[in-house]
Structure 1
Amino acid sequence: MSLTLLVRSLKCSGWNQARISSYKLCLSKMSTQVESEPLPTIHEIRTRIVKLMGANVSYDPKNIHLAKRDNLLKYLPRSQDELPVRTMQDSFEAAIIPLSQDLDLRDKMVTVQGAVRLGRFMEIMDLFAVYIALKHLKLPNLPADLPTPYVIVTVLVDDVTFTSYKAKPDKDIRISGQTTFVGKTSMEISVWLEQLSDGAWEKITKAVFVMVARNSNNTASALVNKIEPGNEREKHILATGLERTNMRKKESSESLLVHPPSTFEQQMIHKVFLDTIDKSNPLLGRRILPPYHVWMEATRQNSVIHLHPEERNLHNKIFGGFLMRQALELAWLCGYMHSKQKPKLWHINDVSFKQPVEVGSLLRMTSEVVYTEKTFMQVCVNADVYHPPTKTTTETNSFHYTLESLEDVEKVIPRSYHEAMMYIDGKRRYDRAMRLITE
């Protein structure tokens, strides 16, 4: 497929000019890399991460805490100006998910319907984003035989939009990514997935990861290399990254935990309330469901997982990609049970990691359909760690998904004020997802 036809296809699929520019840059770099050497597999990428981190891949239950790495602290900068400026090309990497040959990996990726488990994609993309972040970092004074003094932590995954292409479980998938924006201690990493089909690379999804750099003992934040655009296209991509950063700050400042709902949102909730009042005797305050409606609480689905060492990362915490996979699959089941049809995942918004999850924890996940509109469902998943001895919980993660059924779904109705706020938040996220999907 020619570049002109590809760009035209991207526009028809709803990609805006900023995403297309970033994608074209990615393609040009991949072409150069493919010509010079074969792409590494995702297994080889993981091996590189282990080597860069100097980590021990075996688990010792007698020593679950990582050894102190005080000797590496001296190599971390006190100012960003001490670090060399990096470009997007410095961090670019592409790799292959070898589904055509790795049968064990294929078994892990395939669904019972013969599709690919999208939750597995999130695991792999999170791992790959860590590698891109490590590749961006450069310390001139670090001896070649020492591991990196950085610890990379995923704090946010945003704007994961899936195309209509259905990935096949028996064909290789190309994953690529690069650093697209940098703060003082944070890096925004953009990651793409594509699959070769009928001689053309079909895009599957793109995700934006926000990674934070920590010091070698994971006790404080660490400064990262600045990024400088190499051409006009990269300037545009950086500007888009800044826009996303500002948008996150704006949405955080307008959160329902900070400000009350807008006048329009209050009127919307009031109408929902009036629609559920028993008109025969409104003074009793009894609420009833209109036809083809369900109470929000009736859509709730739960899971409890005992977290074993198999799911840990190199820092002996539970791998963020594993948490994303579990949440996505619970959200999909929640949407399936509500709509009675297998839904399609269109968008993931604002996956936030609030607290690290320890090995051995009891992870509880609760999913609910918080907003519906015609065929679409907005599903929220909240995760917390339950402590049986004290009967207390610690909130760790929240996840938000936009799913679509083949037919119109039953509308959800909030019963309490808390659910009303979830309903409003769900509509905000649904509206945002629709803008990104259709723009």
Structure 2
Amino acid sequence: MLASLFGARECRALLRARNLMQMATKMYSHIKKSAASNKSFTMAEVKMEMLKRFGIEPGYTQHPKSRDYLLAYQPKLEELPARTMQDSFTSAIIPLSSNPVLQDMYINYTGSVRFGRLLEDMDFFAAWCCHKHLKLPNLPEGVPLPLSIVTILVDRIDFSDVQASGTQDIRLSGHVSWVGTSSMEVVVWLEQMVEEKYQKITRALFLMGARNATNTASAPVNPIQPANEEEKVILASGADRKKQRQILNAQSVFKLEPNAQEESLMYELYKRTTARNTLELNKRILPPNCRWMEDSFQMSTIPSFPEHRNNHNRVFGGFLMRSALEISWAAAFLYCKSRPKLEHISDISFEKPVSVDSFIRMTAYVVYTKMNCVQIMAVADVLDPETGSQVTTSAFNYTFSAPDAASVAEVIPRTYNETMWYIHGRRIFNANRALKS
């Protein structure tokens, strides 16, 4: 399956990354046990602690306090000591069982948890793991952290069969699993108490970037020195995922023309939707049990507010992820006419920052269908109300499954541009299935 998408060499790299991640998953309990002495916070405490480390007072101000003076404290790479994965391992609790106010925020109408809310928390928690990894020995006591942490992308999130409740405690755990010069990969685990035992809900991979105090340039981070053989395997897995991301980016259908198999598929789509009468070649025909892609989307325009901000008065990436997931879920529900289950999240990218006073247009397109599954591509555009300009800032890819395959009509592209979206969605869907198997 993967070989037809990327070629034999690239396929081997992807499968090796999958195998290494499976090995690393088994070693999670080792790191967790070794770092058991680390203090566990609630997510509310995590957020307050991060503000404290940044030297930021709670409360909104239209013009944040200048952090220019902190540029003088930015460390050089050679000054930063190596860290182990145990150093960054930490956990936090969302105390749903004892907090009815939180329950109202996290629960949906069926009593299950809102995954969009959890994505927000996971994004924030990934940044917290980065804080635990960072150690600046030359930073004077009392000086705030002269760095900023931003989300670059979310690599992959898979979901277990645990039906997460909106009224039971949820635990987030994680650690930095790989570092570059200024980037950090963080693995985050989400678990919920089920019959007095924590059960896995999901595992997520975040790629975070370190920026200087004014968020105008990259900043170096501590390297990782594996503490044992287990950490060496996890580190190798992170390095392979970096190569995998480079392969997928280089082979993107938005950069390179479709391969021979995909061109054949495009021609088959053309034949299925074109009249055979030569006098009606400009007429498109929708096959039975199919829907045009142009009729298969949902859109909303969202004003952002200070509650959605990060430390630089930019829109928090977790809020964008929640908004994109919820409109994508709605698009899948309305398309299938039945309640869908979220299977995968992959290839979430943040290309440009979003100002806190922006209007955000979120559009979720059904771009591919297979059996009982629906592949959604959501796009976030920032709108300028004065000029009418529109700039794409983020893209999100979700896979949902419907209870019954009969309820999932086949989506059909009508234009060449839609056909590229179709090919892109097909690639993501097939890659997710191959990596999971």
TM-score between both structures, scaled by the size of structure 1: 0.92
Q: Residues 59 and 432 from structure 1, CA distance in 2 versus in 1: closer, same or farther, beyond 3 angstroms?
A: same
CA distance in 2, matches of 1:389, 1:71: 34
Matching residue of 2:421 = 422
Paired position in structure 1 for 2:24 = 22
- Displacement after TM superposition at 1:429 (Å): 0.4
2:342 aligned counterpart, secondary structure:
strand
Q: Does 1:269 align with 2:269?
A: no
The residue aligned with 2:308 is: 311
- Partner residue in 2 for 1:7: none
Q: Distance in 2 between matches of 1:226 and 1:82?
A: 11
Q: CA deviation at 1:236?
A: 0.6
User: What is the RMSD computed on CA atoms of the aligned residues?
Assistant: 1.6
2:107 corresponds in structure 1 to 110
Please list, as runs of the form range in 1=range in 2, the aligned pairs for 1:2-401 lying within 5 A after superposition.
Answer: 18-31=20-33, 36=37, 39-60=40-61, 64-78=62-76, 80-281=77-278, 283-401=280-398
Counterpart Cα distance in 2 of 1:68 and 1:41: 29
Task: Note the C-alpha offset of 1:50.
Answer: 0.9
CA distance in 1, matches of 2:127, 2:110: 31
Helix, strand or coil at the partner of 1:100: helix
Q: In 1, distance between residues paired with 2:197 and 2:308?
A: 35
TM superposition shift of 1:301: 0.7
Helix, strand or coil at the partner of 1:179: strand
Deviation at 1:31, TM superposition (A): 4.2
SS in 2 for 1:48: helix
Aligned-pair CA distance for 1:353:
0.6
Aligned partners of 2:35 and 2:89 also within 8 Å: no
Q: Deviations over 1:72-96 (max 9, x none)?
A: 2222223x22210111011110111
Deviations 1:304-329 (A, max 9, x none): 01111111122211111111000000
**Deviation (angstroms), 1:199:** 3.3
Deviation sequence 1:171-209 (CA, Å, 0-9, x none) = 111110000000001000110001121233210001111
SS at 2:116 equivalent:
helix
Q: Is the 8 A contact 2:348 2:396 kept in 1?
A: yes
Unaligned runs of 5+ in 1: 1-14
Aligned partner of residue 214 in structure 2, secondary structure: coil
Structure 1, residues 264-315: CA drift from partner, whole Å, max 9, x if none?
Answer: 0010011011011122446533111110001001111100011111111222
Aligned residue type for 2:69: N
CA separation in 1, counterparts of 2:57 and 2:283? 61
How far off its partner does 1:244 sit? 0.6
Aligned residues of 2:31 and 2:85 also touching (Cα < 8 A): no
Q: Which amino acid counterpart does residue 50 of structure 1 have in structure 2?
A: L
- Partner of 1:113: helix, strand, or coil? coil
